[in-house]
Every structure is written in structure tokens, then in C-alpha cells.
Chains A and B, each alone.
Chain A
């Protein structure tokens, strides 16, 4: 049973971090002072064990909150708390996002409710640069094959890639978090994730695109689509499996719409990147058109009528 499993799991956490954050660790991380303690305690996943000790717990929690002053957001140490990860932890989180499993909640098992900003920030930076660089490389390789294509470094694509990826990883989790908080009343069992945890989920789920983008260098169209679809499935699966426990309490309609919107946005990002950064290549000597069942028509256009990148 998931509840008992999570109870047993929490008991092995450090006592101070458990008590300083509320028993329901899903809602408080760096912003513990914002959520009123009593209100959050009602939504605790556990019913039985913590219920009888709630009075003592809240006393201890209040005491510890006074001792461990949360640093204000203008101090440096507030932001340092978001980078409190080791190399092994970051690698473990990346591995967890690469191999999503249905029962394995990314936030509970890998983040352990201690989200970090290091992973999302540097994964986004890497992805933006890798997109621009490999997009440029495909142009180089294309020019080798067909000297009529004009090569240029296309430096503005770095800016476009950076802005797109960072907006995606910050604005979409913001919308999702806002929506989940708005629907909080419907749920009894599980509180919504904090904003940082949502950002973490999205950030780490983008990691699988980095090797995919590098593999898109191979100028075989159906292979590119295959890699793209595989990456999209893995990434969207990790998102869906993480969001499912939060969303299943809701009505079926809302859950279905939410999950499909999440997957759709993710797919849009992947396809948009593919088309913008990887211009369609001259395909006269590559895979025969009959095999390309899923290729849209504009991939087979001759070079002269390609839209110029702006």
C-alpha cells in the first residue's frame, strides 16, 4: 500500500528535516514559512500514526521553526539551499527521469522532496546550446553534400533556443502549479507539488532530449523521427507518472484534459525544435519515400523552396 510505504520511508529521514517541514512534506520545501502548519497537516497522506501525535508534532515543529530561521529571500543562503546537491544525487535524479516506472514517483523517490535548481538550469542551458550547435552542424554536413546551400554560423539560433527552452521550463510549470493549487480543494489525500518541484520535474524530463538531439545529426529521416518519438515517449511518461498520483483524485475529465495538455505541450516543443533547428535536408539519395509513412510533406521539398531561416 502506497501510504504505508511512504510512512515507513519518511521515518528513516533525518528527524530535523522531517519535523522542520511539516509531516506532509509535499507542500513545504524552501518556503515553509508560507504554508500555515495547521492547515497543511490536515492533508497528510498518513492517517493513523501521525494523527495521535499531532499535538506534540506541532509543538516540536513550532519550536524547530523558531530555532531554524528560514533565511529571507534577499539573503544568499536562501538561494544556496536550492543548490544543496551532490554529484551523485544529480546523477541519480537524471537516471530516475530517464527510466520512468509506473509506481515510482519521481518527486518522492528521487527528489525526496528536496528540489534543486542546479539540474533544471544546467540541463536547459546544455539543451539550448546543443540544439543550436547540432542545428548548425547539420547545415555544415548538408553543404558538404550539396555545395549550393549557403552556410552561415546562424548565431541567432542560440538566442532563440535559449529563450524557448527557459520559457518552457519556467512558464509551463508555473501554469501547472497554479492550476493544481486551484484544484487543491478536490483532493483529500495528496497535496500539490511546490513550484520548485514542478520545475524540477520538467527540467529533469528534458534531459533525454540532449542525446536525442545529438543523434538527430544522422541524416536519415525515419531514424530521426524514430529517435524523436522514443525521446518524447520517455519524457512524457516520466511527466505523466509523476503527475498521476496528484491528479487521480480529481474528476476524470479534469485529469484527462490536464495530462493530455501536458503531453501535447511537450510534443509541441519537440516537434518545433526539430523543424526550426534542423532544416530539411536534400533527400534525393536517402530513404525512399514509400517507407516514410509518418513524414509530413514538407520534409521532401527540394532545397530551393525551403523556407529560409529567419
Chain B
């Protein structure tokens, strides 16, 4: 284009020539290639990746998902400001944790008394509906986190409390007494604080600054109720 303009335009002429008048003077030689392939390197890589996950063995798939879940567990146990939980959210971890917690918390089937501990379904419902309610609450308050990201974070941050449940179960094998209770209380309080800190590290940034406390308080209530269920667990 530039060449054609230069050749047709004459700096010395006084008569103004219409724009692009010299286009008709250009001849396209057959040597200049005007067609070809446009290859984007990324696209071919992604295509290879997609087809390979279909063909890989089941063990590879499971190990990859387990590694992702394990990596997120590490992020929860050592909470730093990172985007891993938010960017690649998955709900496997929360499901595993919730099922483990509910299995350990349910009252034994032998004990048919009506006022006992929670049933499996009650724990499950409290965890999932609690998480959904908190997510809805933070979205309604104007947070810019997606629904499943928030569920993912809240579910993964139950990990410290599940660990507390395991420890309490072990401690309860020893003889009951005030020392027993103090140890369990201490463990549950520490894990509760850890859960709150972990979830706040991930969730707090997504809220508008003057509503952070409004969004964090339900998280506090949620983990408080779960901690209470863990603390009052008595094996029948």
C-alpha cells in the first residue's frame, strides 16, 4: 500500500488527486502468496490435551484429581493469599470432607433415643445448606465471587474441623473426665480459629470493603455450629 501511494503520488504536482486513485495501477504479481495457514500453537496443544484425557487410564485421572484435592488441602492448612482454591475450584474435596464428618458425627443406629446427636442427613444438610446460604448471602451483599468458588472455599475450610473430629474421637477412647474435656475443647477451639482464618483469607477480598464484616459473620456462625456439634459428640 505504501509503495503504491508513493509511486502514484507526486510531491511536485499541484493538482490534488483523489484518494486511492492509484490503486488501479497496482498489479498483483502471481508470486506473492495471499493464502496460507494460520496456526496458533496453543490451540493444537489444547486439542492434544483434550483427546489425551479421554484416552488415559482411569488411574491417571483419579490420581490427577486426588493430587488437585491434596494440593488444595495444603493451601487450606497453610493459608496464604493465593488463588488456587478460587481459580480451579472443585467440589470433590468438600464432598469427601462432609461425608467423613457426617459419618463420624452420626449417632449409632443402636441408640434409638429421639434426643441424641445428629443423624447423617442432618449434618449433611447443615453443611451444604449452610454453605449455600452463606454463598447466597455474600453474593446478595455484592461480592464478586462465583457461586461454586465460594462453595469450594467453604467446603475445603472444613478440613481443620474434620481433623479436630478425628482427634476428639481418639481422645474419647481414653477415660472420660475433665482433662478429657479440656483437651477436646482446646483442640476444637484451635481448629475453629484455623478454619475461620483460612476461609477469611480466601473470601475477604471478594467483598466490598464496607460490608466485609457482614459477609464474614455468617461464616463464623457456620463454623461455630459445626464446632459445637463436634464438641458435644458423645459416643453411645
Contacts and interface: CB of A to CB of B under 8 A. Distances in A.
Interface of A: 76, 79-80, 82-88, 90, 118, 122, 125-126, 129, 133, 136, 151-157, 309-310
B115 A152 contact: yes
A154 B228 CA distance: 12
A90 B116 contact: no
12 contacts: A76-B139, A82-B140, A85-B211, A86-B210, A87-B212, A118-B214, A129-B225, A152-B116, A155-B119, A155-B122, A155-B229, A310-B115
Interface residues of B, number: 28
A155 B116 contact: yes
Contact of B232 (A126, A136, A310): A136
Contacts of A76: 139
Question: What secondary structure prevails in chain B residues at the interface with A?
Answer: helix
A85 B210 CA distance: 9
Given A80-B140, A80-B142, A153-B118, A125 B113 contact: no
Given A87-B210, A153-B229, 14 more contacts: A76-B139, A82-B140, A83-B137, A84-B142, A85-B211, A118-B137, A122-B221, A129-B225, A133-B228, A152-B234, A153-B115, A154-B115, A155-B117, A156-B115
A122 B218 contact: yes
Contact of A126 (B141, B214, B221, B228): B221
B10 to A, nearest CB: 58
A129 B232 CA distance: 14
Nearest to B212: A87
B233 interface: yes
Interface string B99-124: 00000000000000111111100100
Contact of B141 (A83, A151, A310): A83
A142 B217 CA distance: 31
Contact of B213 (A84, A87, A125, A133): A87
A85 to B, nearest CB: 7
Contacts of A80: 140, 142
A126 B140 CA distance: 19
A85 B212 CA distance: 11
Contacts, number: 67
Interface in B216-236: 217-218, 221, 224-225, 228-229, 232-234
B115 A86 contact: no
Contacts of B225: 129
Contacts of A152: 113, 115-117, 234
Given A118-B141, A122-B218, A129-B221, A156 B114 contact: yes
Contacts of B218: 122, 125
Residue of A79, A84, A118 contacting most chain B CB atoms (<10 Å) = A118
Ordered nearest first, which 10 A-B pairs have the shortest CB separation?
A83-B140, A154-B115, A155-B118, A153-B117, A86-B210, A87-B213, A153-B232, A152-B115, A83-B141, A87-B214
A140 to B, nearest CB: 8
B234 A151 contact: yes
Contact of B211 (A86, A122, A136, A151): A86
A207 to B, nearest CB: 13
Nearest to A80: B140
B214 A85 contact: yes
Nearest to A86: B210
A76 B118 CA distance: 34
Contacts of A154: 115-116
A196 to B, nearest CB: 14
Contacts of B210: 86-88
A55 B140 CA distance: 37
A148 B141 CA distance: 49
Given A79-B140, A87-B210, A129-B225, A122 B217 contact: yes
B61 to A, nearest CB: 35
Contacts of B217: 122
Nearest to A83: B140
- Residue of A79, A84, A90, A155 ringed by the most chain B CB atoms within 10 A: A155
B150 to A, nearest CB: 15
B11 to A, nearest CB: 57
Contacts of B212: 87
A87 B211 contact: yes
A157 B114 CA distance: 11
A69 B142 CA distance: 19
A153 B142 contact: no
Nearest to B217: A122
A85 B115 CA distance: 39
A153 B214 contact: no
